[in-house]
Amino acid sequence: MPETQTTRGIHRFAIATASCTVLLLVAGALVTSNDAADSVPDWPLAYGRIIPPLVGGIRYEFAHRVVAAAVALLTLILAVWLARSAPNQRARRWGWLAVALVFAQAGLGAVRVLLGHPAVVATAHATLAQIFFLTLVGLTLLTSEWWHSDHQALEDSGSPRLPALALWTTIAILVQLVLGAGFRHGAFGILPHLVGAVVVTFLAVWSSRSVRKRFGQVRDLRRWGVLLQAFLGTQILLGFAAYWAVAASRVASQPMLLYVVITVAHVVFGALTLAASMLLTLSAFRVIRPAAGAAVPSGAQKANA
């Protein structure tokens, strides 16, 4: 098989694995939104069986485990494929990092079931899920033909430079998702999450505006800036709706369907906002010339390093 076809196949498989991880995030959010986290008391079996009775909250918890197992298998296949065929050493390292993260995530899930400590462990579980997703999103770019192509180095005379600004935006969004998970799982109140929303909105708008003003004609950067703004705007609207849904559901005996839909969408669009920021960050490091006298950032090194 020609190398270009092999690279294209790896890239498509990486996209498929990242897409399945979005489904895993949905499955995990459904467990929390339906108060189903304690539906299965044992691990790795469920009530001592491979397939438990699919009733009540057991359905959500078991579905989450099935999707998680599928994603773990896909991640392992991707890492082995990268190790055998990928021309990019960085992509190979990220592939094995993804494997380590998905197995660590499974370990945290087991701790949550067997040892309890729901607020702390569930928050850590949700945080690691976002980092794992971020790694797979990065791999979709690192395995693309675009990443391996030659690009004319762009000058960035703005301050702060776009690669650094996008990086800080990505970090802020990740921290905001951690704060959201902490609130959702009862580790702490909503105030840190609200403060984080203000910070993330400021940085994301600043990053998107910088892309539009400095590199408005560069499609490889502009598209990620547009997606970042679109996902952020949707996420803000979902945030208001989620706050209303949480308040309304407190008087309900069971989680309302509208509450479940809104809160799950809020989790998913948070992850998509993080993904858009990550893609903007990697793309900026790839095509923007390093500052004079500065070390070459890892994302801007040659693709075959």
Domain ranges of the chain: 1-149, 153-305
Report the C-alpha gap between 70 and 80 in whole angstroms: 16
Smallest CA-to-CA distance from 240 within 257, 222, 265, 221 is with 265
Tokens of 7: 């690279």
The pTM is what?
0.89
Phi, psi of 201 (to 5 degrees): -60, -45
Residue 211 has pLDDT above 90, yes or no: yes
Check residue 159 and give its pLDDT. 86
Strand, helix or coil at 253? coil
* Helices 118-142 + 162-184 axis angle, to 10: 150
Report the C-alpha gap between 143 and 279 in whole angstroms: 13
Check residue 305 and give its pLDDT. 40
Report the C-alpha gap between 252 and 55 in whole angstroms: 21
Check residue 4 and give its pLDDT. 72
Asked if 164 and 295 touch (Cβ cutoff 8 Å), the reply is no
Check residue 122 and give its pLDDT. 87
Interval 137-193: pLDDT, tens: 999 999 998 998 888 888 888 889 999 999 999 999 999 999 999 988 888 888 999
Strands (E), the chain: none
- What sign does the dihedral 176-177-181-187 (CA atoms) show? negative
Residues in the chain: 305
- What sign does the dihedral 147-138-237-190 (CA atoms) show? negative
Of the pLDDT bands very low, low, confident and very high (cuts 50, 70, 90), residue 296 is: very low
Asked if 91 and 142 touch (Cβ cutoff 8 Å), the reply is yes
Residue 121 has pLDDT above 50, yes or no: yes
Tokens of 213: 């003003």
Residue 50, burial from CB neighbour count under 10 angstroms (0-12, 13-18, 19+): exposed
> Mean of the pLDDT values across residues 81-107?
91
Burial letters for 251-278: b for 16+ Cβ neighbours within 10 Å, e otherwise? eeeebeeebbebbbbbbbbbbbbbbbbb
Phi, psi of 49 (to 5 degrees): -130, 160
Specify the residue for token string 């069971």: 254
